[in-house]
Structure 1
Amino acid sequence: MRILGLDLGTKTLGVAVSDELGWTAQGIETIKINEASHDYQLGRLSEIIGEHSVEKIVLGIPKNMNGTLGPRAEASQHFAQLLEKKFQLPVILWDERLTTMAAERMLISADVSRKKRKQVIDKMAAVMILQGYLDSLN
């Protein structure tokens, strides 16, 4: 069973997918979206779900450090409902506190240029969200 991992931003959607055994997460791509106009590129997501025979989606929810939910978390909840309705798949909301920062630090330590980091940061965050979920299962 493959699981899709998503990191929702206002302009991009980071996408990762698990291996068939559900042990590791691999980054797929970063999709350009327009949250303001509710353009989430669901057609592209549908292609990815079909290509990888995805059976479950894990979506990062950015909780505040004290555990409360702010506007970005509410956007993730809304997006989760949209995904469930559109794809008829279970959507798990996974606490993503600090994943983008951790991904940024990892890319900096790997000496990835600022321009290149900007292109892959959301995909890396999606990998970290999905890997955290997979690790919790094992």
Structure 2
Amino acid sequence: MRILGLDYGDRKIGVAVSDAFGWTAQGLEVIIRRNDEDDMRRLETLVKEHEVEAIVLGLPKNMNGSIGPRGEISMSFAETLKQSFGLPVHLWDERLSTVSAERTLIEADVSRKKRRQVVDKMAATIILQTYLDYQSRR
């Protein structure tokens, strides 16, 4: 069962996918957002291409656990994904995923320019991997 992981932002959508067993997450790409229609068309292509059966969408929460405006936007996007693809969409706490991705890239000595190009994909990978790890422990 392949699962798609998404880090949904104002300008970019980081995308990751699990292996067929749902054990590991691999970064796929970063979608540069142009308009909702193009974004959904690209996601639909990825869902079909990778035979995705579920989606994990990062839910940005405030550090105190509350949901702010950015979280509400993600929740609305989750509903759009459910209606568009007819797949289960799991909202997953993404607090500090981008910070963690950035830190990992810095430790790997990736240049600032390169980091900007891949940080969203890496954040999606972290979101998906933490979800997969949690599911495997249940």
TM-score range, shorter chain: over 0.9
Give the distance between the partners of 1:38 and 1:72, measured in 2 at CA.
17
Number of residue-to-residue matches in the alignment: 136
Note the residue ranges of structure 1 that are not aligned, 5 or more in a row: none
Matched, 1:86 2:76: no
Q: Paired residue for 2:2?
A: 2
Give the distance between the partners of 1:73 and 1:44, measured in 2 at CA.
22
Q: Paired residue for 1:13?
A: 13
Give the distance between the partners of 1:130 and 1:30, measured in 2 at CA.
15
Q: Paired residue for 2:52?
A: 54
Aligned letter for 2:30?
A: T
Q: Is the 8 A contact 1:100 1:122 kept in 2?
A: yes
Q: Paired residue for 2:42?
A: 44
Deviation at 1:38, TM superposition (A): 3.9
Give the distance between the partners of 2:80 and 2:38, measured in 1 at CA.
10
Q: Paired residue for 1:75?
A: 73
Deviation at 1:20, TM superposition (A): 0.3
Give the distance between the partners of 1:29 and 1:4, measured in 2 at CA.
11
Give the distance between the partners of 2:37 and 2:125, measured in 1 at CA.
22
Match of 1:123 among 121, 124, 135: 121
String of CA shifts for 1:37-78, please: whole Å, max 9, x gaps.
645611111110001000000000010010000111011001
Q: What value does the CA root-mean-square deviation take over the aligned residues?
A: 1.0
Matched, 1:25 2:34: no
Q: Paired residue for 2:99?
A: 101
Aligned letter for 2:62?
A: N
Give the distance between the partners of 1:95 and 1:39, measured in 2 at CA.
26
Q: Which runs of 4+ in 1 moved over 3 A?
A: 37-40
String of CA shifts for 1:80-110, please: whole Å, max 9, x gaps.
0000000000000000000000000000000
TM-score (norm 2): 0.96
Deviation at 1:2, TM superposition (A): 0.1
